[in-house]
Amino acid sequence: MMKHLLKLTHPIHLVGGVTLWGIWFVAIYGGLSVACSVAPPAAEQDTLTGINVVIGILTLVVAGLLLWLAWASVGAARKTSLRRECYFAFTSAGVYLFSAMGTLFVGIPVIFLPPCL
């Protein structure tokens, strides 16, 4: 019963991209807060800290995954013959693409700012 939810033509994927984005967002904000209260790096280290690097890598991985999903949704939309499914897959692809770009965009500040100040 759950299997049809995984097909990229199902409307549940309309919210898939932003959900992944949301989980990533909570993870980096929560992780940053916990890391800063448990083991804050010295101010001298500036942006070259483990925290920045981990957040940076996580950002790239999640953005990559979202990009792939966007691309796969376009593929699914091309393959299906049902107008409804095609419509949902294309819209989901747009939302996945937005989420991927949004992830990259929100991740940019790790380049400029030290984590805990």
Partner 1 sequence: MSDTENASLSPEARELHDGLDRVWGNPRGLRALTVVNHTTVGLRFIITGAVFFLIGGLLAMLIRTQLAFPDQEFMSHETYNQVFTMHGTVMMFLFAIPILEGLAIYMIPKMIGARDLVCPRLTAFGYWCYLFGGIILTSSLLLEMAPASGWFMYTPLSSGEYSPGRGSDFWLLGITFVEISALSAGVELVVSILRTRTQGMALHKMPLFAWYILAMALMIVVGFPPLILGSILLELERATGMPFFDVSGGGDPVLWAHLFWLFGHPEVYIIFLPGAGIVSTLIPVFAGRPIVGYGWVVAAVIIMGFVSFGLWVHHMFTLGIPQLALAFFSAASMLVAIPTAIQIFVWLSTLWLGRPVMKLPMLWIVGFLVIFVLGGLTGVMLALVPFNWQVHDTHFVVAHMHYVLVGGMLFPLMAALYYWLPQVSGRMPSERLGRWSFWLIFLGFNTTFLVMHWTGLLGMRRRVFTYDADMGWGLYNLISSVGGFMMAAGIALLLLDIALHFRFGKKASQNPWNADGLEWAMPKPPTAYNFVSLPAIETRHPLWEDPELPRTIEEGRHGLANIDHGRRETWGTDPLTGKLRETIHLSGNSWLPLLAALALAVVCISLLVRIYPLAAVATVVSIVILLHWSWVNGAHPKMAPDATVAPGEPPLHSRTMNGPGVWTMSVSHLANGSLFLSLLFGWFYLWTVAPEWQMPATSPLSMPMLVAAGGALTLGTLWLVKLVRRLRQHDDTGLSGGLYFAAALGALQSVLLGVVIWQADLAPTETAHDATLLVALLYVLIHALLGGLLCLLQGLRVGYGYVSAEVPYEPVVVLRLWNYNVVVYWILFVAIWGIPTLLGGG
Partner 2 sequence: MLRWVLGGGVLLPVVSIVALLLLGAPTGRGMLPLPLPGGEEVELIEVVGHQWWWEVRYPGDEDQNDVVTANHLVMPAGEPVDFRLISADVIHAFWIPRLGGKRDMVPGRHSTIRLEADAPGVFGAQCAEFCGAQHTNMLLQVEAVERDEFDAWLAERRTPPEQVEDHDQAREAFGEHCASCHRVEGLPDEFAVGGREYDMEGPDLSDIGSRPTLGAGVLPMEEGAIAYWLQHHQTLKPGNRMPPHDHIDIETLENIGAWLETLEP
12/32 with CB nearer partner 2: 32
Chosen residue from 4, 37, 43, 83 binding partner 2 by CB under 8 A: 43
The least CB distance from residue 20 to partner 2, in Å, is 20
Query: Interface with partner 1 by CB under 8 A: which residues?
Result: 11, 14-15, 18-19, 21-22, 25, 28-29, 32-34, 36-38, 52, 84, 87-88, 90-91, 94-95, 98, 102, 105-106, 108-110, 112-117
* CA dihedral of residues 44, 47, 53, 57 (deg, nearest 10): 170
One DSSP character per residue, 20-65 reads HHHHHHHHHHHHHHHHHHHSPPPGGGTT-SHHHHHHHHHHHHHHHH
Residue 105 binding partner 2, by CB under 8 A: yes
Radius of gyration of the CA atoms of the chain, in A: 18
Rounded to whole angstroms, the Cα distance separating 20 from 103 reads: 10
Residues in contact with partner 2 by the rule CB under 8 A: 43-44, 46, 101, 105, 108-109, 112-114, 117
